[in-house]
Amino acid sequence: MATPQGVNYRESCKAYGLTDAQTSQVLSLMDTGIPFGDAALLVKAGTPPPRPPPNNVSRSVSPDKQARQIARKAERQVTKQPATATDDGRDELLKRIQELEALVAARKASALSLKVSEKGGLSVYGLGRWPVTLYASQWESLLAKRDDILAFIKANDQRLSRKE
């Protein structure tokens, strides 16, 4: 079998934890056109290699595709391991992840950012889904009316909706 320059499949098989007999199986599967990773997973999982169809049967799935499907199935079986008592720190890690996610969400919710738009307006991000963009003169007019706006909000508090 022609191997790419610098690739030692026997060493790679050892890295996968395969025995010499399994390494031979991987190399023979590779001779049939199955990629190395798929062949190694098939052998490690103990899944038999795909058999070629009889000559009189037409098949819509190529042998390579079938091998990849079997390899994916074998990989899922190998990676599915039941939780054991050695996962003591797992609960602590999950708790810490939840704390960090809550912290990020809180920062994200309260964070306002300012940006100058392409047309020279001032955009405020973080109030809703879309930024609020006004020109500088419009912002100045709006901020000059700050007290009037707050008084209006207070007077109409019962009729106004609030978004949390």
Output the six-digit token pair for 71: 């390899």
**CB-based contact 50:63 (threshold 8 Å):** yes
Please determine, for residue 78, whether its predicted confidence score (pLDDT) is greater than 90. no
- Does residue 3 sit within a domain? no
Rounded Cα distance between 18 and 41, Å, is 10
Same domain, 71 and 23: yes
> For 80-92, what is the mean pLDDT?
62
Same domain, 18 and 73: yes
Output the six-digit token pair for 22: 């399994």
Per-residue pLDDT, 23: 85
Same domain, 19 and 70: yes
- Does residue 138 sit within a domain? yes
- Does residue 94 sit within a domain? no
Output the six-digit token pair for 57: 């049967």
Of 140 and 127, the one with more pLDDT = 140
Number of domains the chain is built from: 2
Same domain, 13 and 60: yes
Same domain, 115 and 69: no
- Does residue 102 sit within a domain? no
- Does residue 40 sit within a domain? yes
pLDDT over 70 percentage in the chain: 73
Listing DSSP states for 50-74 in one string gives: PPPPPTT---SS-HHHHHHHHHHHH
Bridge partners, 17 (sequence order): none
Per-residue pLDDT, 1: 46
Please determine, for residue 57, whether its predicted confidence score (pLDDT) is greater than 80. no
pLDDT (tens digit per residue) in 97-135: 888 777 777 666 667 888 999 999 999 988 888 899 999
pTM: 0.35
Highest-confidence segment of 18-22, 66-70, 123-127, 140-144? 140-144
Range of the structural domain that residue 147 is part of: 111-164
Same domain, 22 and 68: yes
Same domain, 73 and 13: yes
- What rounded mean pLDDT belongs to the chain? 77
Same domain, 74 and 115: no
- Does residue 157 sit within a domain? yes
- Does residue 141 sit within a domain? yes
- Does residue 91 sit within a domain? no
**CB-based contact 132:123 (threshold 8 Å):** yes
